Chain A
Amino acid sequence: MSNDKLKQIISRQAKQSSESLIDHSNDIVQLVGFVIGEEEYAVPILSIQEIIKPISWTRVPQTPKYILGVFNLRGSVIPLIDLRTKFGLRPKKHNEETRFFVLKEGDDVAGFVIDRLTMALRISKKNIGPAPDTMAGDESVIDGVGKQADRILTILKVNKLLERDF
Chain B
Amino acid sequence: MDEFQEILQDFLVESFELIEQLDQDLVELENTPEDLELLNGIFRVAHTIKGASSFLNFDVLTHLTHHMENILNQARHGDIILDANIMDVVLESIDLMKALLYKIRDTSSDDGIDVTACVAKLDKINDGEEIEAPVVKVAPVEKVKVVEPVIVDELDYDNMSDDDVEAEIQRLLTQRQDEDKMKRANKIAAGESVPKPPPEPDEDIVEEKKVEPKSKPATPPPAPAPVPVRSTPQPTPSRAVDIDDEDAKAAAPAKRAPATVEQTIRVDVKRLDHLMNLIGELVLAKNRLIKINVDVEERYEGEEFLEELNQVVSIVSLVTTDLQIAVMKTRMLPIGKVFNKFPRMIRDLTRELNKKMELEIHGEETELDKSIVEEIGDPLVHIIRNSCDHGIEMPDVRIAAKKPESGTVILKAYNEGNHIVIQIDDDGKGLDANMLKRKSVEKGVITEKEADSMTEKEAFALIFKPGFSTAATVTSVSGRGVGMDVVKTNIEKLNGIIDIESEVGVGTSIKLKIPLTLAIIQALLVGVQEEHYAIPLASVLETVRISREEIYTVENRSVMRLRDDVLSLVHIGDIFEVERILDGSEHAYVVVLGLGASKLGLIVDSLVGQEEIVIKSLGDYLTGIEGIAGATIRGDGGVTLIVDVAALMHMAKGVKVTALAERGGGAGSVSKEKTKASDYTVLIVDDSKTDRMIMRKSLEPLGVTLVEAADGQEALNLLKQGDKHFDAMLIDIEMPRMDGYTLASEIKKYNRYKNLPLIAVTSRTGKSDRMRGVESGMVEYITKPYSADYLSSVVQRNVNFKSEFL
Which of A's residues lie within 8 Å of B, judged by CB? 2-3, 6-7, 9-10, 56-63, 67, 69-72, 75-79, 93, 107-110, 162, 164
Contact = CB atoms under 8 A, between A and B. Distances in A.
Contacts of B616: 76-77
Interface string B626-662: 1110010100011111000000000000000000000
Given A10-B4, A62-B577, A77 B621 contact: no
Given A3-B56, A10-B4, A93-B721, A61 B618 contact: no
A121 B36 CA distance: 76
A108 B625 CA distance: 17
Contacts of B298: none
A3 B638 contact: no
A151 to B, nearest CB: 31
Given A61-B627, A70-B639, A93-B723, A75 B284 contact: yes
B628 A3 contact: no
Contacts of A71: 639
Contacts of B281: 75
10 contacts: A60-B618, A60-B622, A60-B625, A62-B627, A63-B622, A63-B625, A70-B618, A70-B641, A75-B633, A76-B616
Interface string B606-631: 00000000001111111001111001
Contacts of A72: 633, 637-639
Interface of B: 2-4, 56-57, 280-281, 284, 531, 575-578, 616-622, 625-628, 631, 633, 637-641, 721, 723
Nearest to B575: A61
Contacts of B641: 58, 60-61, 70
Contact of B618 (A2, A56, A79, A108): A79
A164 B616 CA distance: 19
Nearest to A13: B3
Closest 9 CB pairs of A and B: A61-B576, A58-B639, A77-B631, A6-B4, A75-B281, A79-B621, A77-B616, A61-B577, A72-B633
Interface-centre pick from B4, B619, B621, B638 (highest chain A CB count, 10 A): B621
B619 A79 contact: yes
B4 A67 contact: no
A141 to B, nearest CB: 15
Contacts, number: 84
A33 B618 CA distance: 28
A111 to B, nearest CB: 10
Nearest to A59: B531
B631 to A, nearest CB: 5
A70 B638 contact: no
A41 to B, nearest CB: 20
Contacts of B3: 6, 9-10
A108 B631 CA distance: 17
Contacts of A7: 2, 4
Nearest to B619: A79
Nearest to B280: A75
Nearest to B634: A72
A3 B56 CA distance: 7
Contacts of A164: 620-622
B626 A58 contact: no
Given A3-B4, A60-B641, A109 B628 contact: no
Interface-centre pick from A62, A67, A76 (highest chain B CB count, 10 A): A62
A110 B621 contact: yes
A56 B633 CA distance: 12
Contacts of A61: 575-578, 625, 627-628, 641
Contact of A108 (B531, B577, B619, B640): B619
Contacts of B637: 72
B532 to A, nearest CB: 8
Contacts of A110: 619, 621
B621 A2 contact: no
A16 B719 CA distance: 60
A29 to B, nearest CB: 26
B631 A58 contact: yes
A145 B639 CA distance: 37
The residue in B281, B633, B721, B723 that gathers the most chain A C-beta atoms within 10 A of its C-beta is: B633
Contacts of A56: 638
Q: Give the one of B280, B641, B723 with max A CB within 10 A.
A: B641
Q: Which of B57, B617, B620 has the most CB of A within 10 A?
A: B620
B627 A77 contact: no
B638 A109 contact: no
Nearest to A108: B620
Contacts of A93: 721, 723
Nearest to A94: B721
B284 A57 contact: no
Contacts of A69: 639
